[in-house]
Amino acid sequence: MLLKTLREEVLEANLELVRRGLVVYTFGNASGIDRNEGLVAIKPSGVPYEELKPEHMVVCDLEGKIVDCKLRPSSDLPTHLELYRRFPNIGGVAHTHSEYATSWAQAETPIPCFGTTHADYFHGPVPLTDRLTSAEIAGDYELETGKAICRTFAKVDPDSVPAVLVAGHAPFCWGPDPAAASHNAVILEYVARMATHMLLINAGSQPLARELHDKHFLRKHGRNAYYGQVKTQ
Ligand SMILES: [Zn+2]
């Protein structure tokens, strides 16, 4: 089987979204890329999660040409491909309609960094895309969604803020591999839920101080990170 390990990783990333309650029915999709081969594996469209097997993952090139699998890929494939083309360090993408993160996307409101949980994962607010234009919606909608995401990151580092809210739609998350993309989707939902509750408790709550935000992100990420165990490899 072509790209057996990647297919298994992508299947596992999809199943993680289900286990964590981020998807209902066949909503949601996760993918992964083999940068050496230039090939992407993604969940097929509309197949119940409980029936999914590694061989059902659809493998295509970065232009969307299917190279292995008889099933149709997730309809969001062109969005995933645009992210892989434009964000060269990412290895996995996860898309869900998880309840709280999607609520913020529908409210067309970026998620400010209200606490250190957010700061541990996202070095800045989780941004919101512009609305797609009528022409973009009528045209190559899924590709235009990817382009809208990339425009949102013109001045934001996607490696430091691995998530976005697509206006009126839902979040997309990414990471160095498929497992990290799903992990970030789970954390985003957790952060979005806490932000919602926090504003119910105190509608005047303010974002975290920049110093504390930087402290928490930079102790986990980047050259001077010191959180967790020293990597031996
Ligand atoms: Zn969607």
Instruction: Inform me whether the pLDDT recorded for 214 exceeds 60.
Output: yes
DSSP 167: T
- pTM of the shown model: 0.94
Which helix (H) or strand (E) segment holds residue 184: the answer is: helix 178-201
Predicted confidence at residue 25, as pLDDT, reads: 84
H/E run at residue 94: strand 92-95
* Residue 227 pLDDT > 80: no
pLDDT at 231 over 70: no
pLDDT in tens, 177-213: 999 999 999 999 999 999 999 999 999 999 999 999 9
Catalytic residue among 68, 120, 141, 190: 120
CA angle (190 as vertex; 145, 195 as ends), nearest 5: 90
Average pLDDT, the chain: 95
Ligand 1 geometric centre to CA of 101 (Å): 12
SS3 219: helix
Q: Is residue 225 pLDDT above 90, yes or no?
A: no
At residue 111, what are phi and psi to the nearest 5 degrees?
Answer: -95, 110
Distance 170 CA to ligand 1 centre (A): 6
Q: What residues form DSSP beta bridges with 126?
A: 111
3-state secondary structure of 57: coil
Look at 131 and 26; give whichever has higher pLDDT.
131
Burial bucket for residue 7 (CB in 10 Å: 0-12, 13-18, 19+): buried
Measured in Å, residue 219 CA sits from the centre of ligand 1 at 33
pLDDT of 55 > 70? The answer is yes
pLDDT tens track for 76-132: 999 999 999 999 999 999 999 999 999 999 999 999 999 999 999 999 999 999 999
Q: How many whole angstroms from 97 Cα to the centroid of ligand 1?
A: 6
With pLDDT > 90 as the criterion, what percentage of the chain qualifies?
88
- 142: three-class secondary structure by DSSP: helix
Length, in residues, of the chain: 233
- Taking Cα atoms as reference points, which of 173, 213, 183, 204 lies closest to residue 87? 173
pLDDT of residue 27: 86
End-to-end CA distance of the chain: 29
Task: Please pick, among 61, 130, 214, 227, the residue that the annotation labels catalytic.
Answer: 227
Q: Measured in angstroms, how far is the CA atom of residue 96 from the centroid of ligand 1?
A: 6
Ligand 1 center to 75 CA (angstroms): 9
Q: If you measure from the C-alpha of residue 169 to the centroid of ligand 1, how many angstroms do you get, rounded to a whole number? A: 6
Distance in angstroms (rounded) separating the CA atoms of residues 181 and 94 = 5
Active site residue 120: yes
Known catalytic residue at 121? no
Q: Within a 10 A sphere around the Cβ of 98, how many other Cβ atoms?
A: 28
Q: Identity (one letter) of the amino acid at 179?
A: A
Residues 92/95/6/232 CA torsion (nearest 10 deg):
40
Encode pLDDT of 124-183 as tens digits.
999 999 999 999 999 999 999 999 999 999 999 999 999 999 999 999 999 999 999 999
* Ligand 1 geometric centre to CA of 39 (Å): 22
Rounded to 5 degrees, what are φ and ψ at 211? -60, -40
Are β-strands 29-34 and 92-95 bridged in parallel, bridged antiparallel, or unpaired?
antiparallel
Q: What is the pLDDT of residue 219?
A: 92
Mention every residue, 6+ apart, whose C-beta is less than 8 A from residue 233. Answer: none
Structural contact between residues 56 and 44, judged by C-beta atoms closer than 8 angstroms = yes
